[in-house]
């Protein structure tokens, strides 16, 4: 699902991307509580200043800016990855302006710097490392500038250095989170590909073993039974009256056994329907996020019939899952495989960020080629904030009713 304008954005860095594998509170919960607690801690002194007649005017100006900052912060966290990049940048700009306003109108004790640290920590979600540095440098200059008029230059530099250091630290931590998220996505995608390959290898091994056994029965047991039948036929002509009935019975039994062996060999050579449902469910079980919802038609393996088309279906689903892991930033992925009068329809959609334009990469391109070679087709739809929808059709000569 290679996207257009959103395709070059970094991995999701909004608060809450990491699940807790060791139990206890999720990191997302801890970070949310920490962020809200920091925001409340900054606003507490502002609210108390309203009670002081001397500070009431500036506090009444600072409190709206503080409230707008909180609203912009929450909106950014809820919408990041699901809205165009310009919207995220606008929300960051609102937070910066409000944070600077609170700093100018605040207590003057430096606690307002925490708001700009919160803003700096969000910049890796929408811009590269250099862009984050420029952003926090502008923030630092804006909040340090008023102090330059009333403080000696060395102290101004110290204050600016402290402020810049906190923000750089926040950006660095979130950059590490970006890399860790990207690594987890790549690992999950590779795991999905390995599960698909394992499922295909298992089916191929099962079919190969059936063919080997059938070949051995035909070449070994069938040959010996044929030779035995010929020997008994010769013995029937030379046997005396007492042995003839027994020889005839042995000859008839040999013919019956040879016929049964041939029937077994023919049945084993017939291509049995692959266990496609089990392979697809195994593929889905290997992915924890996004959550995969499978809706499979009954008797899917029998409907597909030959292993080559089963391979095409499995590869299509694997590519859908892989692209959802790498690009969609979705919480859920719905995959439905339904039987139609002329074949199978694969319908997949997610609740991810979507994109203005979808530029198929190697994965989607290979899927389209695989389907078109089999006489099928592929349709793709996407829009910002509306996820990604894929519909594939694979014709089957005779779909059982």
Q: What is the pLDDT of residues 154-191, one digit of tens each?
A: 776 777 788 888 888 888 888 887 777 777 767 766 77
Q: Give the pairing type, strands 377-382 and 388-395.
A: antiparallel
Q: Is residue 177 part of a domain?
A: yes
Please list the alpha-helical segments (H only) found in 123-221.
Answer: 129-148, 153-216
Q: Is residue 297 part of a domain?
A: yes
Q: Is residue 49 part of a domain?
A: yes
Handedness of CA 175, 177, 180, 185 (dihedral sign): negative
Domain termination site, one of 153, 187, 221: 187
Residue 159 and residue 54 share a domain = yes
Residue 349 and residue 242 share a domain = no
CA 84/CA 2 separation, integer angstroms: 15
pLDDT of residue 196: 64
CA 247/CA 231 separation, integer angstroms: 10
Residue 224 and residue 181 share a domain = no
pTM above 0.95, yes or no: no
Q: Is residue 203 part of a domain?
A: no
Q: Is residue 9 part of a domain?
A: no
Residue 383 and residue 279 share a domain = yes
Q: How far is CA 73 from CA 11, 64, 89, 121, in A?
A: 19, 14, 12, 11
Closest to 82 measured CA to CA, from 301, 395, 329, 292: 329
CA 39/CA 74 separation, integer angstroms: 11
Residue 175 and residue 69 share a domain = yes
Q: Is residue 341 part of a domain?
A: yes
Length of the chain: 401
Across the 401 residues of the chain, what is the mean pLDDT of every consecutive 10-residue run?
39 40 50 83 81 76 89 83 77 90 70 84 85 88 73 72 85 80 71 68 68 71 72 73 75 75 66 70 77 84 71 82 78 88 88 76 78 84 82 72 39
pLDDT of residue 6: 37
Residue 386 sits in which domain range? 273-395
Place of tokens 């060791």: 22
Residue 165 and residue 81 share a domain = yes
Residue 302 and residue 156 share a domain = no
pLDDT of residue 296: 86
Q: Give the pairing type, strands 332-340 and 291-296.
A: parallel
Residue 231 and residue 89 share a domain = no
Residue 89 and residue 120 share a domain = yes
pLDDT of residue 336: 92
Residue 223 and residue 277 share a domain = no
pLDDT in tens, 3-48: 433 333 444 434 433 334 434 444 556 777 888 888 888 888 887 7
Residue 218 and residue 174 share a domain = no
Domain termination site, one of 269, 295, 312: 269
Q: Is residue 195 part of a domain?
A: no
By percentage, how much of the chain surpasses pLDDT 90?
3
The answer to whether 3 and 324 have CB atoms below 8 angstroms apart is no
pLDDT of residue 74: 87
Q: Is residue 293 part of a domain?
A: yes
Q: Give me the number of domains the chain comprises.
A: 3
SS3 295: strand
Residue 227 and residue 83 share a domain = no
């Amino acid at each position: 699902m290679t996207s257009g304008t959103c395709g070059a954005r970094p991995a999701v860095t909004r608060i809450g991307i990491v699940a807790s594998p060791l139990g206890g509170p999720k990191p997302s919960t801890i970070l949310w509580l920490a962020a809200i607690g920091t925001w409340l801690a900054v606003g507490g002194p502002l609210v108390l200043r309203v009670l002081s007649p001397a500070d009431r005017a500036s506090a009444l100006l600072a409190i709206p800016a503080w409230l707008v900052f909180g609203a912009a912060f929450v909106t950014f966290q809820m919408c990041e990855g699901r809205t165009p990049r310009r919207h995220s940048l606008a929300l960051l700009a609102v937070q910066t302006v409000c944070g600077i306003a609170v700093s100018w109108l605040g207590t003057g004790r430096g606690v307002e710097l925490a708001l700009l640290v919160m803003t700096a920590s969000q910049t890796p979600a929408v811009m590269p490392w250099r862009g984050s540095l420029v952003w926090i440098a502008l923030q630092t200059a804006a909040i340090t500038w008023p102090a330059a008029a009333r403080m000696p230059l060395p102290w101004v530099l110290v204050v600016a250095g402290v402020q810049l250091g906190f923000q750089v630290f926040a950006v660095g931590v979130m950059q590490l989170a970006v890399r860790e998220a990207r690594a987890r996505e790549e690992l999950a995608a590779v795991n999905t590909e390995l599960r698909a390959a394992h499922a295909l290898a298992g089916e191929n091994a099962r079919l190969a073993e059936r063919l080997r056994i059938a070949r051995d029965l035909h070449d070994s047991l069938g040959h010996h039974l044929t030779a035995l039948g010929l020997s008994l036929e010769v013995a029937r002509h030379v046997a005396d009256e007492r042995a003839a009935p027994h020889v005839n019975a042995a000859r008839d039994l040999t013919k019956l056994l040879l016929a049964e062996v041939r029937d077994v060999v023919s049945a084993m050579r017939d291509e049995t329907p692959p266990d496609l449902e089990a392979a697809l469910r195994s593929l889905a079980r290997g992915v924890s996020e996004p959550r995969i919802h499978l809706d499979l038609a009954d008797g899917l393996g029998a409907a597909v019939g030959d292993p080559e088309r089963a391979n095409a279906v499995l590869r299509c689903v694997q590519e859908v899952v892989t692209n959802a892991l790498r690009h969609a930033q979705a919480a859920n992925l719905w995959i439905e495989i339904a039987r139609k009068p002329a074949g199978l329809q694969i319908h997949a959609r997610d609740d991810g960020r979507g994109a203005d334009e979808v530029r198929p990469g190697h994965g989607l391109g290979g899927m389209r080629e695989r389907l078109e070679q089999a006489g099928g087709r592929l349709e793709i739809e996407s829009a910002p904030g509306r996820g990604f929808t894929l519909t594939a059709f694979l014709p089957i000569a005779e779909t059982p009713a």
